[in-house]
């Protein structure tokens, strides 16, 4: 089919969708007229049978009174419209643009027009009741079929409206429409139409508008359940999109007026070419939306929902890894880093570690997915950034004591990643490079110790590094153990020989006494951050440490 003809058909369909109210009115009116004519024909064909009935009830038609019907229809219309107006008015206080959704709801449009036309039908019958032009079939159809049917449907429809104004239902409707639009992009006819610039802009506009609507909706919601549903659905939409992306016409990813004018891209004028080249304008839009949501949740102290944002980001990352989408992985790493920056600023300002504690867990889960799928470059890159934010948290610890705990958390997550890397049998050279990053967690070059009496030693990080050394001892990776011991020995210059030995003995005693479970609960359960299952390696570790000390003459 010619592209112009195809586009013309699309415009006709789009025109009908745009003027749904008029289309539904014409459809219901045509249905009313058709049913009326059909009943009249059936009435004529069944005249012989009906005449037998008239003999039993000779005055049946004359006794039919249609006078009350218009009033009943009017009452029904008032009840339905009144309920609809009140419900939508109340819902509009917390759900923006909900009226627009109902202006496009086929069920509501069809039922309201049915009531209007049914009432008009009753008025016409009443007007012509005493004339010869009245058709008995029309009278019986309105009085015994349409009117009772409308009364029966009225209350289920009111319940339908009340259910539809719930935030969860509104979110589901927006998301279902959005995902349907994404799947539509795979169709062969749509792929051909995407060569048309106007159609491409329209497709982009539909997707961006529904994302903006979902973002606006989240700002008004107060309950956690619909917020959580919205966050999960944004993740679902991204995953659906990147799954279908290979089947979409490359013309769709061109950055035109619709993308440039979107509120999320107003400050990205210099990056439009990169967006078009990387084909990631949609993903960037969704991630910016998630980022804005994350910031609002941090400000509102919604710790669990903020953690959900990071969790969904990790899930999106896993999908991108499975699809081998390197461009998207780069974007996800940047977004994770941005979330870390947001959480770090919030944590320092409020001396609050909870959001960073949860975010570090999800960042580590993302890196572990990279490791298990052997994505060397992205794994090393993310591992480096995680260490970098651990260093920043250490620097902020002087002003915000909660940040020192985050340094421990980052070290614990890096330790788990290093264990996984070893289990995945990566090369020893790479493992040593990653280990070197972990050993820099609490010792950033830009941070200096002004007071020699105040040690730069972070005992929590040292404890976790010793835990890692015990793991390497069990695996007989003595080179890695030597690297850790060499780093630990640097603390002698700050603590002195005696204090250093006391600190090491205290740390080892702590590891011997540690249990897998902590006696309090956190957002991540009650697993003990400092527990090691390799307690039997403590004695060999101390022997190696003493040997190194002896070599140094200590």
pLDDT confidence of residue 176: 92
Q: Please report where in the chains the tokens 């190194």 appear, as a residue.
A: 548
DSSP string, 458-522: -HHHHHHHHHHHHHHHHTT-HHHHHHHHHHHHTTHHHH-HHHHHHHHHHHHHHHHH--SEEEEEE
Tokens encoding 82? 């009144």
Counting Cβ atoms within 10 Å, is residue 82 exposed (0-12), middle (13-18) or buried (19+)? exposed
Measured at the alpha carbon of residue 54, what is the angle toward residues 49 and 58, in degrees to the nearest 5?
170
pLDDT confidence of residue 54: 52
Cα 489 to Cα 74, 243, 392, distances in angstroms: 90, 51, 23
Measured at the alpha carbon of residue 196, what is the angle toward residues 191 and 201, in degrees to the nearest 5?
90
DSSP string, 199-261: HHHHHHHHHHHHHHHHHHHHHH--SHHHHHHHHHHHHHHHHHHHHHGGGS-GGGG---HHHHH
Cβ–Cβ < 8 Å for 382, 359: no
pLDDT confidence of residue 455: 44
Coil, strand, or helix at residue 94? coil
pLDDT confidence of residue 448: 46
Residues of the chain scoring pLDDT < 70: 1-11, 13-17, 43-67, 94, 96-97, 129-135, 443-458, 553-554
CA distance 467 to 538: 9
Task: Tell me if the pTM is above 0.85.
Answer: no
pLDDT confidence of residue 58: 52
CA distance 460 to 404: 9
pLDDT confidence of residue 443: 60
């Amino acid at each position: 089919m010619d592209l112009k003809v195809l586009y013309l058909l699309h415009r006709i369909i789009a025109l009908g969708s745009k003027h749904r109210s008029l289309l539904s009115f014409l459809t219901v009116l045509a249905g009313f007229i058709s049913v009326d004519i059909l009943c009249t024909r059936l009435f004529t064909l069944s005249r012989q049978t009906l005449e037998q009935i008239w003999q039993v009830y000779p005055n049946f038609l004359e006794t039919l009174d249609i006078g009350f019907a218009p009033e009943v229809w009017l009452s029904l219309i008032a009840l339905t419209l009144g309920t609809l107006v009140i419900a939508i008015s109340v819902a509009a206080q917390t759900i923006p643009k909900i009226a627009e959704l109902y202006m496009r709801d086929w069920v509501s449009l069809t039922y309201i027009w049915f009531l209007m036309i049914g009432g008009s039908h009753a008025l016409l019958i009443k007007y012509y009741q005493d004339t010869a032009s009245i058709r008995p079939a029309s009278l019986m159809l309105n009085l015994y079929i349409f009117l009772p049917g409308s009364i029966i449907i009225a209350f289920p429809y009111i319940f339908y409206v009340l259910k539809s104004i719930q935030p969860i239902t509104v979110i589901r409707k927006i998301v279902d429409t959005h995902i349907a639009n994404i799947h539509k992009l795979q169709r062969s006819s749509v792929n051909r139409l995407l060569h048309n610039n106007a159609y491409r802009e329209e497709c982009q506009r539909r997707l961006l508008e529904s994302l903006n609507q979902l973002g606006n909706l989240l700002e008004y919601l107060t309950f956690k359940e619909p917020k959580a549903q919205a966050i999960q659905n944004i993740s679902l939409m991204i995953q659906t999109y990147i799954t279908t992306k290979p089947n979409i016409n490359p013309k769709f990813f061109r950055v035109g007026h619709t993308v440039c004018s979107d509120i999320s891209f107003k400050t990205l004028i210099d990056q439009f070419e990169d967006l078009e080249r990387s084909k990631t304008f949609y993903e960037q839009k969704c991630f910016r939306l998630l980022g804005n949501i994350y910031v609002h949740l941090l400000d509102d102290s919604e710790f669990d929902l903020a953690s959900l944002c990071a969790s969904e980001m990790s899930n999106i990352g896993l999908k991108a890894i499975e699809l081998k989408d390197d461009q998207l992985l780069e974007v996800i790493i940047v977004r994770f880093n941005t979330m870390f920056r947001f959480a770090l600023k919030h944590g320092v300002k409020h001396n609050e570690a909870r959001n960073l504690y949860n975010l570090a867990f999800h960042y580590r889960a993302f890196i572990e997915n990279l490791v298990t799928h052997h994505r060397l470059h992205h794994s090393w890159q993310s591992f480096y950034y995680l260490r970098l934010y651990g260093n920043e948290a250490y620097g902020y610890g002087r002003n915000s004591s909660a940040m020192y705990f985050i340094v421990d958390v980052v070290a614990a997550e890096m330790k788990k990643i290093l264990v996984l890397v070893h289990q995945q049998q990566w090369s020893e050279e790479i493992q040593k490079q990653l280990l070197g990053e972990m050993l820099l967690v609490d010792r950033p070059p830009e941070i200096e110790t002004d007071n020699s009496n105040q040690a730069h030693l972070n005992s929590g990080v040292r404890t976790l590094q010793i835990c890692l050394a015990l793991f390497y001892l069990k695996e007989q990776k003595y080179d890695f153990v030597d690297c850790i011991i060499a780093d630990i020995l640097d603390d002698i210059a700050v603590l002195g020989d005696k204090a250093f030995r006391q600190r090491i003995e205290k740390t080892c005693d702590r590891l011997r006494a540690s249990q897998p479970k902590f006696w309090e609960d956190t957002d991540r359960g009650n697993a003990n951050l400092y527990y090691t299952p390799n307690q039997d390696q403590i004695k060999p570790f101390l022997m190696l440490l003493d040997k190194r000390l002896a070599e140094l003459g200590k």
